[in-house]
Copies of this chain bind each other. A is one copy, B any other.
Amino acid sequence: MAEGQTRRRGKALLDAIYAAAVAEAAVAGPGRLTMDAIAKRAATPRSTLYRRWSDPRDLLLDALADLHPVEQPHPGADDLRGDLIAALRLMCDWAFSDAGRAVMAIVADPRRDPATVDALFERVFAARGGTFTQTVLRHYAEHGQIDPARLTPVVLDIGEALVTKRMMDLGADPGDQYLEAIVDQAILPAIGRDPADG
């Protein structure tokens, strides 16, 4: 800092640290997440990190909790199919963000401890109204267009599960065509609206 020596502090510094942590986690996987790498990426000395957190996992959880909340689906009134596809699109976009990849890697970590995952779900997802297609399905059930009895935990998870698996298999975005296939061939039949029927 030879000339423009401004010193970050408080929120500005925290934001830089959080961004660095999430970016590092997405690149390295939380298993390889280190204080050192976060500090380097945030261009701050490690001592600053150790003053607040004792371990990179704690830091990452704070970082994820602090992030802007995920964009929510905003279902309309009479396009269930389109709204479901849009919800899955939102999910894909989120999943390929740094935060999404960090969360994925935490959840799939064989060394994960239940406390970490619980903390993650409570702090990161509790604020949200549920999963992506869940929001849409509940909305249409409230408007009497879906039998609420159909919305079991299994059914509410179909879309997210298929998207997740496809991303794991391919390592890439499933693509809109595949999202449509998920809606037409799995979700709609499960709520009793099989497009193949009349």
Which of A's residues lie within 8 Å of B, judged by CB?
Answer: 25-29, 31-32, 101-102, 104-105, 107-112, 114, 117, 150, 152-155, 157-158, 160-162, 164-166, 168-169, 171, 178, 181-182, 185-186, 189-190, 192, 194, 196-197
The CA of A165 and the CA of B125, in the complex, are separated in Å by 16
Contact indicator A28/B110 (Cβ below 8 Å): yes
Contact indicator B168/A164 (Cβ below 8 Å): yes
Across the interface, name the chain B residue whose C-beta is closest to A181: B154
The CA of A132 and the CA of B165, in the complex, are separated in Å by 14
Across the interface, name the chain B residue whose C-beta is closest to A159: B161
Contact indicator A161/B165 (Cβ below 8 Å): yes
Min distance, Cβ A117 to any Cβ of chain B, angstroms: 6
Q: Which 8 A-B pairs have the closest CB atoms?
A: A108-B108, A161-B165, A31-B31, A161-B161, A189-B189, A154-B185, A161-B162, A154-B181
Contact indicator B154/A111 (Cβ below 8 Å): no
